[in-house]
Copies of this chain bind each other. A is one copy, B any other.
Amino acid sequence: MPDIPAKMRALVLKQDGYSGTATGPSIEHLSDWCALAEIPVPQPKASEVLVRIGLANVNPSDLHYIKGEYGQPRRKGVPAGFEGMGEVVAAGEDEAAQKLLGQRVAVSASRGGSGVWAEYALTDARAVVPLHPKLSDADAAALIVNPMTAWAMLDLVRQAGAKGFVMTAGASQLGKLMARLAKEMGLACVATVRREEHRSPLEGLGVGTVLNTERDDFDEMLVAAMRQVQPTILLDAVADRHSAEIFAAMPAGARWVIYGKLSPEAPALPNLGQMVFMRKKIEGFWLTEWMARASPESRRAAFEKVQERFVSGAWKTDVAATLSLDEALDGLAEALSGLNRGKVLIKPS
């Protein structure tokens, strides 16, 4: 076990609670929301573990959260960051926590714990995943939020008996993971993008139909694609008027599954006929909820299957930049501006 210092450096939240705004996951300066501070290293109790963070990830949900626009209230002075990887260096007295001591793990933040944009993070034993020795640190730092969401959502598509699905924000890391998984599972996939240059990478991953929402012929292409593929699930990270248009063009019985809100736009509720006569439904998806409901066995199995794909090279995490805590404070916003080139990671020490 390495020595654990009393103090650590961390990017901590500058505000408490919710902001009441809905401006979406983009920032101009990280320093508007977070400060680089030296704070006490937290101590794990009961089922908690302390993880020395090797690499932390930056997801859209982190940006929603630090801006006070996520489904959980901010806690001023507490480190931000929902996802990362590292080594368990201390553990509470519970057996589940003690068993993890010394292990290399993927970490997600838990309620009451502390965030991973810090040298150390406190979280619950249920929120860490022991790692395959051959999994790279970068893949490990981005293991939970995107890959598990991709896995869980395509499992939802499969369990719904759908032959095909639509995903918005297809060029995102999550979109690419879902594209690969769809091909493996034999599911027809229609993806939307906002730039023409995102088309061929997705087609290369086996996506049958890529629709550019910014093109003038989007409406016609959409109707043609819906008629041909007949997708009955919309996996939606955007929730704007294009999403509403896609949902309206989908066949009877379609489900609009919202898991993100990249756009600050609030589209109108679909018309009566869509919901009543065409039996369409609107719902949300949240990985935390999925993991809480899944049995320990199926959660473990899902993590194993996801890690196998990274180890075998079938999946990979594209990294656009890796920043120190200091570099992140000044440079995160700029590094994120090319989001679709790959993940931006934070290396706390």
- The chain A residues found within 8 Å of chain B, CB to CB, are 22, 70-72, 239, 244, 258-261, 266-269, 271-286, 289
List residues of chain B with CB within 8 A of the CB of A275.
258, 282-284
List residues of chain B with CB within 8 A of the CB of A272.
71, 239, 258, 260-261, 284
List residues of chain B with CB within 8 A of the CB of A273.
70-71
Instruction: Knowing A22-B271, A268-B266, say if A289 contacts B279 (CB, 8 Å).
Output: yes
List residues of chain B with CB within 8 A of the CB of A278.
71, 284
Are A283 and B281 in contact, CB atoms less than 8 angstroms apart?
Answer: yes
Q: How far is the CA of A58 from the CA of B268 in the complex (A)?
A: 30
List residues of chain B with CB within 8 A of the CB of A274.
284
Please classify the interface of chain A as helix (H, G, I), strand (E, B), loop, or mixed, using the class held by over half of its residues.
loop
Are B286 and A258 in contact, CB atoms less than 8 angstroms apart?
Answer: no
Closest to A259 in B: B276
Give this chain's copy count.
2
Are B269 and A279 in contact, CB atoms less than 8 angstroms apart?
Answer: no
Closest to A280 in B: B284
A132–chain B nearest beta-carbon distance, Å: 29
A60–chain B nearest beta-carbon distance, Å: 11
Q: How far is the CA of A281 from the CA of B274 in the complex (A)?
A: 15
Beyond A71-B272, A260-B272, 14 extra complex contacts between A and B, CB < 8 Å: A72-B277, A258-B275, A260-B276, A261-B271, A267-B268, A275-B282, A276-B285, A277-B286, A280-B283, A280-B284, A281-B281, A281-B282, A281-B284, A282-B283
Are B268 and A269 in contact, CB atoms less than 8 angstroms apart?
Answer: yes
Q: How far is the CA of A244 from the CA of B285 in the complex (A)?
A: 20
List residues of chain B with CB within 8 A of the CB of A22.
271
List residues of chain B with CB within 8 A of the CB of A285.
276
Q: How far is the CA of A84 from the CA of B273 in the complex (A)?
A: 23
For the complex of A and B, 10 pairs with smallest distance between CB atoms: A71-B277, A275-B284, A276-B284, A266-B268, A261-B272, A282-B282, A71-B273, A281-B283, A276-B286, A258-B275
A71–chain B nearest beta-carbon distance, Å: 3
List residues of chain B with CB within 8 A of the CB of A71.
272-273, 276-278
A104–chain B nearest beta-carbon distance, Å: 30
Q: How far is the CA of A278 from the CA of B258 in the complex (A)?
A: 12
Instruction: Knowing A22-B271, A239-B269, A261-B272, say if A284 contacts B289 (CB, 8 Å).
Output: no
